[in-house]
Amino acid sequence: MKFGETPLEDAIGAILAHSVRTGKTSLKKGRILLDTDIALLRSAGVETVVAARLEPDDVDEDTAAARIATAAAGGNLEISAAFTGRVNLYAKTAGIVDYDLGRLNAINLVDESATVALLPPYQQVAPRQMVATVKIIPFAAPEAVVAACEKLASGGLVRVAPYRPRSVGLVQSSLPGTKESVLDKTTRVLSDRVTALGGTVQAERRCVHRSDAIRAEIETLLNDGCEMVLIAGASAITDRRDVIPAAIVEAGGAIDHFGMPVDPGNLLLLGHVGDVPTLGLPGCARSPKLNGADWVLQRLFADIPITGHDVMAMGAGGLLKEIPARPLPRAEATKASVPSAPKIAAIILAAGQSRRMGTANKLLIDLDGKPMVVRVAEAVSASQAALLITVLGHEAGKVRAALDGEDIRFADNPHYADGLSTSLAAGLEALPEDVDGVLICLGDMPRVSSREIDRLIAAFDPLEGRAICVPTYNGKQGNPILLARRFFGEMLEITGDRGARHLIDGYQELTCEVEMTGDSVLVDVDTPKALEELRA
């Protein structure tokens, strides 16, 4: 890749490395310079720009990131579209992040131009939480580098191991003076802990703190079909030959490991009876706060084998009591401020009267066997948009019938004759409270694909100043447009026959132009001539 100060005559097709603002001319970094851009710059008196020019053995940043991410993505991960050389991987389900640290380091040691960042091994994740990001540092990476990273990541570098629901038996022992209220609270806390991992406390047994009594309760729970046994003793385990480990051995089991380099949680006992994991819990497990027992339970519920060696390797990051807040991980995961996939809703505006098309409702016109509006809905449904709302008005019954079978929510607009703004408002008012942004789609743009929609979603990042994402082709802005929640109030104030496009001019500093590879984002079919050209 060639990089540096570039004369304008050599800059057509190059990638602008730094934004240029001269008078009314404003070109953002990362833009592929067109001949019209060069003319604008020249008229503004600019003679050179800092730009990158790809060479034959270079792979552009988006393609390179997508290739590596595709190779790295294992089970239960969703791959975002690439944008500015970045591709993110998000969890599809709750579970544990599982990967080979050696392979990750090998990838990052290939070359400085390609990087892969992951969450710590075995970290618990919630659905839609970000697990990994692949980032190409410059505007392109050499083909040899991309191929080497692909090879190292092939077969899936990282996966989310999902929790498997299972039944759990709980044994609590007591000594003279043990309060029933303490045992009741322990039952509630441990039940919540197990439920958060997808399991169920099938039965609880209470007995005196003697090995023979605990052994008998373990055997009862195993005979009842429990797939895991947890033992909360009245007294802390102090040795492998103490009461609780002795009870496990008497029940025909074995002790795999005692103690762990995690505080709180030091006095955890890991054992098994047959193929049933049997744990002696540390006293801190009576609290809902994170402790070493959680790390062991999470792996067991995710069917990730855990050995004594694995427990002994938990010391890095194991000083949990110094963490200011230690909530039960999954119970609070959705409340925490963790990177996650933005929840984007899509609104298809399908209430208009199609006056420019003549007597026909353009949205119901057949295109290769499907009504136009169905083609739009299929593209949105196949994208990474979290939900789809279609606004109905003119010939609402016919449009709804055409979309029958699609996973769509509908919003009725009885005021559709008053203009586009009324349909926009009807769609916005139907949105749930938890969406991060909305994609405004037109029902007469059947060539827009799910890939182009995903590219807009990948670009969306209000925290980095990309709160409005607009597709472009050859520098010309098109549709659909993606806008952050912060603009919903202003959008609801729009009146007449207009949409939200004026917000782009009002918030240029928050607008991101996303260049597409084709002109589909510019093509709407609202006249007989446009329909004829499309069919041709």
Is the predicted pLDDT of residue 531 greater than 70, yes or no? yes
pLDDT tens for each residue of 449-487:
999 999 999 999 998 899 999 999 988 999 999 999 999
The confidence score (pLDDT) of residue 322 equals: 60
* Tokens matching residue 406: 């699609």
What is the arithmetic mean of pLDDT over 413-419?
A: 95
- Of the candidate ranges 43-47, 132-136, 173-177, the one whose mean pLDDT is the lowest: 43-47
Distance CA 320, CA 292 (A): 8
Q: Which two tokens stand for residue 43?
A: 């008229």
Q: What is the CATH number of domain 2-53?
A: 3.90.105.10
When pLDDT is cut at 50, 70 and 90, the band that residue 339 belongs to is confident
What tens digit of pLDDT does each residue of 297-315 get? Answer: 999 999 999 999 999 999 9
Q: Do domains 2-53 and 344-535 have the same CATH topology?
A: no
* pLDDT of res. 382: 96
Q: What is the pLDDT of residues 232-243, one digit of tens each?
A: 999 999 999 999
What is the share, in percent, of the chain residues with pLDDT greater than 70?
97
For every residue of 216-283, DSSP letters joined together read HHHHHHHHTT-SEEEEE-SS---STTSHHHHHHHHTT-EEEEE--S-BS-TT-EEEEETTEEEEEPPG
CATH topology for the 167-313+325-333 domain: Molybdenum Cofactor Biosythetic Enzyme; Chain A (3.40.980)
pLDDT in tens, 113-156: 999 999 999 999 999 999 999 999 999 999 999 999 999 999 99
**Residue 206 pLDDT more than 90?**
yes
Q: What is the DSSP string of 73-139?
A: B-TTEEEPPPBTTEEEEEESSSEEEEE-HHHHHHHHTT-TTEEEEEPPTT-EE-TTBEEEEEEESSS
496-518 pLDDT, tens per residue?
999 999 999 899 899 999 999 99
Which phi and psi angles does 204 have, rounded to 5°? -125, 135
pLDDT higher than 90, residue 327: no
Coil vs helix vs strand at 200: strand
Q: Does domain 344-535 have CATH number 3.90.550.10?
A: yes
Q: What is the pTM of this model?
A: 0.88
Report strand pairing: 476-477 vs 468-473: antiparallel
Taking the domains of the chain in order of start, what are their residue ranges?
A: 2-53, 58-162, 167-313+325-333, 344-535
pLDDT band at 26 (very low <50, low <70, confident <90, very high): confident
Residue 4 CB neighbour total at 10 angstroms? 10
Homologous superfamily, domain 58-162 = Pyrimidine nucleoside phosphorylase-like, C-terminal domain (3.90.1170.30)
pLDDT at 323: 57
Cβ atoms of residues 467 and 443 within 8 Å:
no
